[in-house]
Amino acid sequence: MFPAVLDDRSIRFCYQPIVRLSDRQVVAYEALARPQGIDLDLSVEGFFEAALQLGYGRALDWLCGWLCLQTSRDVVDDRTLFMNIGVSSLLSPADGVDPMINLLEWAGWSASEVVLEITEREEISDLGRFREVLTTYRDHGFRFAMDDVGDGHSTLEVLAAGEPEFVKIARRLTAGAGLPGARAAVSAVTAFAGSLGSHVIAEGIEDEHQADLMAALGCQMGQGNALGRPAWPNASRASGDADRPPALRVLSA
């Protein structure tokens, strides 16, 4: 399966807006990889987990990066693109920052236009190496986001080591933020992120009440179906533009 995906480059990208909660303005787009034939609303975590376990994680990451940078410009114009990257790809001594810089230059992007979103699929065991690699990337203008904080492997220890520019609250905490435990966890993460100077993005916002609640808890931005569903570029729906994400343009955060 995975050799065929790599050979055929059969990955497509849909895009979901990241929205500033204070005024509902779109501030960025996350590119979401989907294998050919997979509906944009379906989770592909199992697909990427299997690729990682079978030894195809790094190759799939670089293929997705290449295809994403090649195809995303018309969607996000000349503004911010959130692009996922796995820990193995980021920390591999065989890769380093140079291949990513070369990829960006080839595709016509600058590092300042891209946020590398570190996925939670793998545990970060060497925090010293993690800190060193992120520093090297930042020297070239990259910014980072930590995905699914409060779930998976994204811990406060990892946040302290990485000092990401963006912290993404896990959708499980967003969904439970009306309950005391989850609300306390969100408040703790937003306070910690604030001490690092990080912007906080609440994932999985499904209604306006959640958006207002997460804003009240200190999240500056949000992502979720209530703020804009994932969509294929230039997608059209029979029901009209109301079901589509906000116009494919990005404002400065």
Are residues 27 and 221 in contact, defined by beta-carbon separation less than 8 angstroms?
yes
pLDDT on residue 15: 93
Greater model confidence, 92 or 184: 184
Which tens digits make up the pLDDT trace of 180-208?
999 999 999 999 999 999 999 999 999 99
Residue 68 identity: C
pLDDT on residue 224: 97
152: pLDDT strictly greater than 70: no
Which tens digits make up the pLDDT trace of 154-167?
678 899 999 999 99
Please give the mean pLDDT across all residues of the chain: 85
- Strand 114-118 relative to strand 81-85: parallel, antiparallel, unpaired? parallel
pLDDT on residue 29: 96
Band (pLDDT 50/70/90 cuts) for residue 36 is confident
Which tens digits make up the pLDDT trace of 219-240?
999 999 999 999 988 743 333 3
pLDDT on residue 125: 86
Domain 16-32+64-243 top-level CATH class = alpha beta
